[in-house]
Each structure stands twice: as C-alpha cells, then as structure tokens.
Amino acid sequence: MNHAGPDTDHVRKQTLGFSQQSNEEQPILSQVVEILESLYPLEYAESWDAPGLIVGDLSRRISRVMFAVDPTIDVVDEAIRHHADVLITHHPLLFRAVHEVSGLGFRGGIINALVRNNCALWVGHTNADVAYRGVAHSAADAFGLVNQHPLVPSDTQQHGHDIGLGRVGTLSKPQTLRNFATAIAHKLPKTNAGVLVCGELDAMVHTVAILPGSGDSCFDEVRSSDVDVYVTSDLRHHPVTDAYQQSRYEFMLKSSGYIPGGEHHTAPFPAFINTPHSAIEHLWLERAAVDLQEALKRHHQRSITIYTSTLNTDPWNLRL
C-alpha cells in the first residue's frame, strides 16, 4: 500500500471545524460510533449482515473522518494519506466468514494497515439502506421523487418516519423513460459500466421504485407497487428478460380487456434502469457526512473534519 503524502484529487472536503479545537475537545471514537448507530441503528440490518465498528480503539480522539462506498485497498490508502482517524464505508470489508487476518489476504492487509495507522473502520450496510435519510432515501431525493414511502416497509418507524428497503415515489413532472434515465446518469458519478435501460424509451414515467444495490430479489414487491420504472443495480439477463416479457404480455392482456388493471400506464411496466452499484450508493455519502457533523455538534458540541471520497470503486476499468 502506498502511504504517500496527501492527494486531494479524489477526496472532497465536506466540512471543517476541528482546526481550532484542542485535543481534549475532540470527540472520542465511542461518541462518533454512538452518533452513527443512532442515525443507522444496527438492529435495522438484515440477519445475515454484520455492520458497525470493525476496527478501532473506542477511547481514541477523532479529528478526521472519511466516507467512501467500498473499503478497497485504494480507498484505505486514500484515508491513510489524508490522516483519517475513521473510515466509514457502506460496503463491508468482512462480508462472509473470515478465519484469518494475516498479510496473506487483502482483508488482513487492509486491517493491518488500518491498525498501524490508527484508522478505525465503521460500516453502515443494510442498516443504512433501511434508515431514514439513508442510502435509498438519498437516491430517491437525488432523483427528484416526492410523496415517498418504503418499497418493502419495516415494522418500525424512525423518528416518526416509515422506513424500509427501497423507496417508491412520484416525479413532480412526468417525463419520458429516456429523459429520466439520462437525468439519473447525470446525477451519478461516472463509471465505465454506465447506465442501462430496458423499456419503451418514449413512454412517460411518473411513478418510480428505487432500490440502490442488488435489486432483482424485489421484483415481486416492485410489481405490486404498480410503478412505471424500477431503478436498481446488478440486474441479470434472465430475471430482467423474464420480468419484462411478462410485463409486455400482461400489458397486452390488460389493453385488450382480458384482465383488469393497467389503466394508468401507457406502456409495459415496470421498465428497468440498471445503475452501477457503487455509483448509486455514492449518493448517500455527502448526506451522511452532513448528518454526522450536525449530530456531533448537537449532542456533543463537537465538530470534526469530514471528507467524502470521490474515488471510483466500480471494478470495471474498460468498456469496449
């Protein structure tokens, strides 16, 4: 790993405030974790997920935090170059069972580098997906959805708000599928993978379901929501082909009066917009940075320096 001096090309400084604080005035890691886990409670996580504090000394003073989507080698190097005391990522480093963290594997190498450089790692994964002002909510707001509600509601609320996986909402002004997909592409960080669209490009879009991350497991919920288009990531050939073929067939039956429904649609629904996984989830980072800073000031009268990484962590580096 390269631990060279600061390189600001890939990092956006979100907010300042530490420069005039003494060491005693800096929050400690346990206070930062407390805030993060009030914003994104760990009990919201899926049963197979294990978010939260992965590496770190709870008593250590914190002055610099960096947000990123993925805890890759490049991102960790970036955090270390910027002297981050905490790296906060959406995706886990330890996703499945790990039996060693030696230098023989990249996960062990990353953990060893974090420990050597006194940089903690906190992960907000499916708990941040579900939370109010979390990953899905951030994407829905960025794409202009109003009158939102969860796609898959949880059986609880957060601060009086309904929460759950994904978001469903409406566009304040209907637009064609082509124009909506183009607007989404302009909102996302650039990747080589790009944005893919399945559907009638000139059909009007008004209602939208969004699930950042891998979303083909929620096709049934999307169909039940009766939306015009579904925005997600990691869509595979056969599930999308089958789903859209079924939509076309049902639309033909409904248009012919053989089965009820579809009165509000002008084309087979839902259409699909497939976004790069890391790009759509990147939309959460700046909101999370703002919410963390504001909560630290409100609850602990502390402020810190927060960066959001703009490093592209999409794995594809060539499109032919």
Inter-residue contact 218 to 164 (CB < 8 Å): no
Omega of the bond prior to 270 within 30 degrees of 0, cis? yes
Residue 164 tokens read as: 């759950």
User: Considering only CA atoms, which of 129, 112, 111 is closest in space to residue 165?
Assistant: 129
Other CB atoms within a 10 A radius of the CB of residue 237 amount to 7
129 is in an annotated binding site: yes
90 is in an annotated binding site: yes
206 is in an annotated binding site: no
Other CB atoms within a 10 A radius of the CB of residue 268 amount to 23
Interatomic CA distance for residues 98 and 100, integer angstroms: 6
Q: pLDDT tens digit string along 267-303?
A: 889 999 999 999 999 999 999 999 999 999 998 888 8
Phi-psi region of 304 (alpha: psi -120 to 50; beta: other; left: phi over 0): beta
91 is in an annotated binding site: yes
What is the per-residue pLDDT for 24?
65
Say if strands 229-233 and 145-158 run parallel, antiparallel, or are unpaired: unpaired
Query: Which residue ranges form the domains of the chain, and what is each CATH number?
Result: 8-126+281-309 (3.40.1390.30), 130-278 (3.40.1390.30)
Q: In what order do the strands lie in the sheet with 86-89?
A: 11-15, 305-309, 64-68, 86-89, 120-123, 52-55
Residue 120 tokens read as: 């903690």
Q: pLDDT tens digit string along 204-238?
A: 999 999 999 999 999 999 999 999 999 999 999 99
Q: pLDDT tens digit string along 86-115?
A: 999 999 999 888 888 888 999 999 999 999
What is the per-residue pLDDT for 209?
98
Name 146's bridge partners: 170
- Residues 6 or more apart whose CB falls under 8 angstroms from that of 158 comprise 41, 131, 132
Inter-residue contact 12 to 67 (CB < 8 Å): no
Q: What Å distances lie between residue 30 and 37, 116, 121, CA to CA?
A: 10, 19, 12
Q: pLDDT tens digit string along 155-188?
A: 999 999 999 999 999 999 999 999 999 999 999 9
10 is in an annotated binding site: no
Instruction: Give the residue, 256 or 132, on which the prediction is more confident.
Output: 132
Its pTM stands at 0.90
